[in-house]
Amino acid sequence: MAPPDDARSVVTANQTTSRPGQSGYHSPFQPVANSLNRVTETPFFFAREDARLFGILHLPAGTAKPLAFVMSHPFGEEKLWSHRVFVSCARALAAHGHAVLRFDYFGAGDSSGLSADASLESHREDLRAAIGALEQRAPAIEQIGLIGLRMGATFAALLAESNVSPRLAGAPLVLWDPILDGDAYFQELLRSNLSTQLAVYGKVVDNREVLTARIRAGGSVNVDGYEIGKGLLDSCGVSTLLTTDAKRHAGPALIVQIAATEAQKERAELKALAASYGQGTLARAAEQPFWREIKPFYPRASQLQELTLRWLDEVTGAPAVAPLETAASGG
């Protein structure tokens, strides 16, 4: 019989994986403290209506700060490639004193469901359920901030506009390279399907117009192993997915443009997005597009992570700290 969900745990790469009875053995069904990173990591499942969502709670070794975070991952293959960066950042935040929840959206990772059945509303409800799960497991926290990447940043920004929890109201919102134009984003994804057709058939059998029509008619299209269905395309595949109109979110907001070099031109739409928040800040981080398949292994996005941590220190009034190189390790 499987152990109860809240008893599951993770063994990180910094811990031994010896057999029962041997020195250094840790049961895989008990929360394990990562002494090198000064955090405890506990996997568990939580419910959203009839969906079963998977999450990992990162807690600091001592008393957690009043501010906690939920991290919102990007869609499809971008989630896979950015996974180590998310893990590294969650550990750095926990080592910094914050409780952090990473989780898999419906149809992604270890959560139940199919990506073809996902939609903007399902992602919104998943994120709302994740906030509720964090509130239950860390009841002493006073605020919950959101950190998202790409489409995950867009989902976070949209949820922050609704009054889903009083703990979100004035909390920090961190948007890493958010998607504003959903139509352009999904057209880019469908272009990947065309590349697959070329590799398999030696030619493009169905162009993007045909693929889009198939989805709109109720079918689905596979992009790098992930099915895009009608619900997701209809709700998110619009040019005005995330607008630059004045925002209701009252807390500080950090919008980060991620570029391979600092010489890359400032993106006007991200500048306008930052200006749409009462306490908005636009920053740039020189990082490779780690959410794609690139040659260098990306265990962490050092500049992006340090930029985010230092901004959080500034807006929360926390004392600045030295770079968390050990805590930031991907393990």
Residue 236 placed within a domain: yes
Shared-domain flag, residues 218 and 138: no
If you average pLDDT over residues 274-287, what whole number do you get? 97
The residue whose two tokens read 């605020």 is 143
Q: What is the mean pLDDT of the chain?
A: 88
Total tally of structural domains belonging to the chain: 2
**88, burial (CB in 10 Å: exposed 0-12, middle 13-18, buried 19+):** buried
Q: Which residues contact 9 (CB under 8 A, 6 or more apart)?
A: 26, 27, 28, 29, 30, 31, 32, 41, 42, 43
Shared-domain flag, residues 174 and 57: yes
Shared-domain flag, residues 186 and 117: no
Say yes or no to pLDDT of 272 above 50: yes
Q: Confidence class of residue 167 from pLDDT cuts 50, 70 and 90?
A: very high
Shared-domain flag, residues 93 and 187: no
Residue 8 placed within a domain: no
> Quick one: which of 210, 60, 72, 207 has its CA closest to 129?
72
Q: What is the pLDDT of residue 198?
A: 96
Residue 18 placed within a domain: no
Shared-domain flag, residues 64 and 148: yes
Shared-domain flag, residues 268 and 197: no
* pLDDT per position as a tens digit, 201-218: 999 999 999 999 999 999
- pLDDT over 70 for what percent of the chain? 85
Residue 24 placed within a domain: no
Please say which residue of 241, 271, 290 terminates a domain. Answer: 241
- pLDDT over 90 for what percent of the chain? 78
**163, burial (CB in 10 Å: exposed 0-12, middle 13-18, buried 19+):** exposed
The residue whose two tokens read 């265990």 is 299
Please say which residue of 220, 241, 262 terminates a domain. Answer: 241
Residue 22 placed within a domain: no
Q: What are the angstrom distances between the C-alpha of 120 and each of 115, 116, 117?
A: 11, 12, 10
**Cα–Cα distance between 244 and 316 in angstroms, integer?**
25
Tell me the CATH number at 68: 3.40.50.1820
Q: In terms of pLDDT, which residue wins out, 243 or 326?
A: 243
Shared-domain flag, residues 161 and 285: yes
* pLDDT per position as a tens digit, 23-42: 443 444 455 555 445 799 99
If you average pLDDT over residues 115-126, what whole number do you get? 97
Residue 131 placed within a domain: yes
Shared-domain flag, residues 122 and 229: no
Q: What is the pLDDT of residue 6?
A: 38
Q: Confidence class of residue 11 from pLDDT cuts 50, 70 and 90?
A: very low
Q: Confidence class of residue 296 from pLDDT cuts 50, 70 and 90?
A: confident
Q: What is the pLDDT of residue 288?
A: 95
Residue 16 placed within a domain: no
Residue range(s) defining the domain that contains residue 306? 33-180+244-331
Shared-domain flag, residues 307 and 326: yes
Please say which residue of 211, 241, 271 terminates a domain. Answer: 241
Shared-domain flag, residues 272 and 331: yes
* pLDDT per position as a tens digit, 36-67: 457 999 999 999 998 999 999 999 988 999 99
Shared-domain flag, residues 174 and 185: no
Which secondary structure element, helix H or strand E, spans residue 159, and what is its range? helix 151-160
Count other Cβ atoms within 10 Å, centred on residue 98: 25
Residue 250 placed within a domain: yes
What pTM was estimated for this model as a whole?
Answer: 0.86
Shared-domain flag, residues 174 and 78: yes
**Cα–Cα distance between 312 and 50 in angstroms, integer?**
35
